[in-house]
Structure 1
Amino acid sequence: MQNQTLTESLAAFDPEIYALLQEEIQKQRFTLSLLPTSNAVSPFSAYLKGSILGNGHLDHHAVQSHLKLEDIAAQRAEKLFGADHALVRVGDIASASRVVFQALATRGDTILSFNRRKSEHCIGEHLWYDFVSFSIEPETERIDLDRVAELARARKPRLLIYSPVNYPLHIDYKKLREIAKSVGAYLWVDIGQNAGAVAAGCAPSPVPYADVVTMPTGDSLHGPQSAVIFTRAELADNMDRAILDTGHSVVKKNVLAALATTFYEADSESFKAYCQQVLSNAKALEAGLQAAGVKTLCGSTQTHLVLACLPAGKDPEMMAKDLRESGFLVKGDNMLTSDEGRTFPILRLSALDPTTRALKETALKTVGHLLGEFILSGGSEAAKQKAQTQIRAILMDKPLFSDEWLPQHIRLTPGYGKKDLNISREVEAEKQEAQAERMWSFWDN
């Protein structure tokens, strides 16, 4: 059935669900997501996940010839990241985390983890561990690896975990490896939404140093909602057993195919250009915030992530709620520090989705300034109205996934554009960029 016919049939057959679909389309078109975990899926990945491959599945009893999709996905992941062994059967990062714990730790072990990352995935009595946290220093806003080494020597952890989901700077993976090795610990790095930049060579890779690397395959990689575990060759058998012991005996063919294509896309020049643009856009977003008078945490960003500091007494979750009503999706959080009595209220902002939608530096500066004004106004009604009006203008004809990021100059026409639009998307995009340029020039002067 043709897509248009299918859509029309859905409207007639199930108008309630069709209405929710249309509502979601409009919401995504006119809302700018700065959530680190939110990004559009590649059209290829989306097609394969929704294809007839979803009618079948694979399990560990299948004959080898039937496991070709899993082999292709794993081999492409290994090649892209330079890893010894990849496991592609896990459905999400929480499941991947539980597999790693099953393979490398026993109940009651000490876990030394950046901001207690991965403790949220320890569900069940058998996954009880003694978590010890290391964080940024409140004075320098940096991770002090010498202090991490002291903690490791004092507590003798089984696992040393680093996941930079709220740290916008690169870290010395080699030194982390040395710290872990000095106390007999495994080093586990979850690169999170930095996975795309690592794949494209735009960020340092932990793969040569870590015993285990995990990552989600959506977000920065434009793939399906899934995850991958990389491990050293000597740990491969142990990790493979843990996969089956934690119930991951069955996988869908459609997800494996989408994963395989995701890794293939991530090896293209277009994807590398996308990752470079993400980094440029993050710096522009940061510059816009700072120009509006908002401080950013941890210095100048080196990744997709920008941490906007909130005024004292402001609740991050309430600020995120107010921004949502104005057309922004952001993550409010309290950044932990090595001083347990001191935290920084922040908004975690990412340039991933805006870049996917074809926004460039000028637009991100404008967005940063709008956010900064909103934050400093305390979320006033006037600020809400201004932000809502201007963000809709910036996004008026932006795609959810810009075809400039597709490999080999492939171009697609989105199915959510206005049918009666009498101006091309390219011309309208230029118009909106010019409008953003005027906004930014006005504020800059």
Structure 2
Amino acid sequence: MSTRPVEAYNAFLNTPLAEADPEVARIIEHEKYRQFAELELIASENFTSQAVMEANGSALTNKYSEGLPGARYYGGNQYVDQLERLCQERALAAFKLDASEWGVNVQPYSGSTANFAALTALLQPFDRLMGLDLPSGGHLTHGYQTDKKKISSSSIYFQSMPYRVDSESGIIDYDRLEENAELYRPQLLICGASAYPRDWDYARLRRIADKHGAYLLCDMAHISGLVAAGEQESPFRFCDIVTTTTHKTLRGPRAGLIFFRRREGEDKKESLEARVNQAVFPSCQGGPHNNTIAGIAVALLQANSPEFVQYAKQVRANTQALAKRLVGHGYRLSSGGSDNHLVLWDLKPVGLTGSKFEKICELANITLNKNSVCGDKSAVTPGGVRIGTAALTSRGFKEHDFEAVADFLHATVELATELQREAGSKLLKDFVAAAAKSDKVAALQKKVEAFATSFPMPGFDASALAKPPTQH
């Protein structure tokens, strides 16, 4: 047993991070400055509020609470039960759902775990599912596989047949989907995407699913904030299960939700509610992260507010402004534009890969991600990039600000094509080496940083942040 005095021991456990671990504290401060000084355009990211971060960093992280409210495997959960029930109520309220028709499990650690738990609840091993193909904008967890390898657990444990967008329009080919479903006869039809800029025809998807007695699941992870605000069609009118992440356009902490439809007179043991709850715990994960559930509850309260509705409207308006400006510069967008928070930009006409453009943008303090577009053969060297407006809208950007963002992107394309010619090599490493030494890239980086740091930063005070010695 330690002979250390109680006072010294308490001091050890109550030392602020900056003193207890200055190395980690320094990394966090540098990451804060990076977020402040860069144009964050990754469509799956957002900046959450100070209140959400306070809840997510609370003493609730100390508590284990396997099970459901009122039926835990540990004691001492009276306040955790209150919290989880509150979060469930707020989830239904945020999406305008009747508790007699819908329920929700708020415990999934992420969108991916929520999706696999939903598949576990709905399907038996080797049952058939159909989801949007990854190169068409779908998500890994919707059954993605290649000719050579089963990539996602959803393709490893279930049989998967993808559907795709039309190669010319970039819009989902619903006719081909319906034809293939006639032959494949899936038990589950999945809608939702990670890089699809248009809204969904849920009514038609419901009709296709009903033809084959299939469940219809919507993964609305990317658009859930827009759905809550009424800026996208609601999948709840037509689907059996709806999953979502809680960050992205919903602007909460990183986690997942599973909504399940309730039916009058159903056998409780065979209900979707019972199957989803069983699938989440104990089938797919252990004790929930109560601190994260607290952050979700706060975010859902904020999402059910007039201020959030205005935010969601601004997200869409900003996307339209960005798309219009890029098209005005002569660039090609998948599907010709956007209905939601993202654009998918095809760079093949200008001779760039998404991989190269992502790298040069990072050097210029612009954060986005490479992404497959129509006609791509490889996800490693895709022909486009995905750009989202949710994060910068949280920083107060308006339409004219996104026009400036588009101009920065245009300038980056011009630099990238010039450097690619000068490098004289198709290799990514040679291109990055040339870009890293370019005075023009360095000058653009300074302009972008000056522009980005002129906007406020939600969640924390950026005024006292020190610029890291090197950012890349």
- Output the TM-score relative to the length of structure 1: 0.84
Structure 2: stretches of 5+ with no match in the other structure: 1-12, 145-149, 264-271, 420-437, 467-472
Closer, same or farther: CA 289–262 of 1 in aligned 2, 3 Å: same
CA distance in 2, matches of 1:41, 1:65: 28
Are residues 295 and 7 of structure 1, via their aligned partners in 2, closer, same or farther at CA, if it must alter by over 3 Å? farther
- Which residue is 1:416 aligned to? 462
Match of 1:103 among 121, 140, 143: 121
Q: 2:409 aligns with which of 351, 360, 371?
A: 371
Matched, 1:80 2:137: no
Residues 126/141 of structure 1: CA separation in 2 closer, same or farther (3 Å cut): closer
Q: Which residues in structure 2 correspond to 1:168-183 (within 5 Å)?
A: 168-183=197-212
Question: Conserved in 1, the CA contact under 8 Å of 2:363 and 2:441?
Answer: yes
SS in structure 1 of the partner of residue 222 of structure 2: helix
Q: Could you give the per-residue CA deviations for residues 263-298 of structure 1, whole angstroms, max 9, x where no partner exists?
A: 111000111111111111111111221222211111
Per-residue deviation, residues 50-76 of structure 1 (Å, max 9, x unmatched): 122222232224378552211111121
Residue of structure 2 equivalent to 1:397: 454
Q: Which moved more, 1:170-179 or 1:79-88?
A: 79-88
**Closer, same or farther in 2 for the Cα pair 1:195/1:7, shift >3 Å?**
farther
Q: After superposition, where does 1:44-443 map in structure 2 within 5 Å? A: 44-60=51-67, 61-62=71-72, 65-66=78-79, 67-83=81-97, 84-116=102-134, 117=139, 118=141, 119=143, 127-234=156-263, 235-312=272-349, 313-336=351-374, 345-378=383-416, 380=419, 381=438, 384-401=441-458, 414-418=460-464
Q: Distance in 1 between matches of 2:463 and 2:117?
A: 42
Amino acid at match of 1:366: A
SS at structure 2 position matched to 1:174: helix
Go from structure 1 to structure 2 and tell me whether the alpha carbon gap of 1:68 and 1:170 turns closer, same or farther (over 3 Å shift).
Answer: same
Contact 1:217 1:223 in 2 (8 A): yes
Q: Give the counterpart of 1:24 among 26, 31, 37.
A: 31
- For residues 357 and 7 of structure 1, what CA distance do their matches in structure 2 show? 33
Contact kept? 1:282, 1:306, Cα under 8 Å: yes
> What is the CA-CA distance between 1:382 and the residue it aligns to?
6.2
The answer to whether the 8 Å contact 1:223/1:259 transfers is: yes
- Give the RMSD, CA atoms, in angstroms: 2.8
1:16-39 CA-to-partner distances (Å, cap 9, x unmatched) read 223212221221111111001111
Moved more, 8-17 or 154-163: 8-17
Q: Distance in 1 between matches of 2:194 and 2:246?
A: 15
Contact 1:59/1:250 (CA < 8 Å) preserved in 2?
yes
Partner SS state of residue 378, structure 1 = helix
Contact kept? 1:290, 1:372, Cα under 8 Å? no
Q: Distance in 2 between matches of 1:268 and 1:33?
A: 25
**TM-score (ref. length: structure 2):** 0.79
Distance in 2 (alpha carbons) for counterparts of 1:133 and 1:216:
22
Instruction: Provide runs of 4+ in structure 1 moved above 4 Å.
Output: 6-9, 63-66, 120-127, 339-344
Residue 152 to residue 126, structure 1, CA distance change in 2 (3 Å): closer
Query: C-alpha distance in 2, partners of 1:392/1:346?
Result: 24
Aligned pair count reads 403
Report deviation, 1:161: 0.9
Paired residue secondary structure (2:294):
helix
Aligned 8 A contact 1:196 1:266 in 2: yes
Q: Where in structure 1 are there 5+ consecutive unaligned residues?
A: 1-5, 403-413, 421-445
Distance 1:260 1:317, change over 3 A: same
Identity among equivalent positions (%) equals: 26
Letter in 2 for 1:57: Y
Is contact 1:336–1:344 with CA below 8 Å preserved after alignment?
A: no
The answer to whether the 8 A contact 1:288-1:367 is kept is no
